[in-house]
């Protein structure tokens, strides 16, 4: 009879020990709910990386060649505009040349003043809503 009580006592203690160990392991795990959610739904769409698609060498070479050609055209256009402006200035009489130079200066000053005014007005409007 004494053996029966010790066996029952040992069995109860063993069951309590196992229950406490399993309970503790579930309570103190970090992000247990997040892990369960991940297992259910998988990775989020925003975290997935898009696969890199590498273009064939001939395509990348053609793109580089096209960019180089466009840069050259832009450079040539800028040169021709500058040349045209210079020629326009050279064919004028000296009085007209002086007037053209003064007009350029006036226009630059007017544009500078307009930009300054716009900058200050937006600055004041920005302060209003802070």
pLDDT along the chain (130 residues), means of 10: 76 72 54 68 67 89 97 97 94 94 96 90 68
pLDDT value, residue 109:
96
pLDDT value, residue 108:
96
pLDDT value, residue 59:
94
| Nearest one of 77, 95, 74, 75 to 85, comparing CA atoms | 77
pLDDT value, residue 72:
97
CA 7 to chain centre: 69
* Contact (CB, 8 A) for 26 and 32: yes
Q: Collapse the DSSP code of 96 into the 3-class scheme (helix H, G, I; strand E, B; otherwise coil) and give the result.
A: helix
32: CB partners within 8 A, 6+ apart: 26
Taking the C-alpha atoms of 90, 95, 101 and 103 in order, what is their torsion angle to the nearest 10 degrees? -130
Block residue for tokens 């200035």:
89
pLDDT value, residue 27:
53
């Amino acid at each position: 009879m004494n053996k029966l009580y010790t066996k029952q006592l040992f069995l109860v203690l063993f069951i309590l020990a196992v229950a406490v160990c399993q309970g503790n392991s579930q309570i103190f795990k970090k992000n247990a709910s997040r892990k369960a959610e991940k297992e259910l739904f998988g990775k989020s769409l925003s975290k997935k990386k898009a696969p890199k698609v590498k273009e064939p060498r001939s395509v990348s070479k053609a793109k580089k060649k096209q960019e180089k050609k466009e840069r050259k055209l832009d450079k040539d256009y800028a040169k021709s505009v500058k040349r045209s402006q210079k020629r326009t200035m050279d064919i004028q009489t000296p009085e007209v040349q002086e007037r053209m130079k003064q007009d350029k200066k006036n226009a630059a000053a007017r544009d500078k003043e307009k930009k300054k005014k716009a900058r200050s007005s937006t600055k004041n409007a920005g302060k209003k809503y802070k």
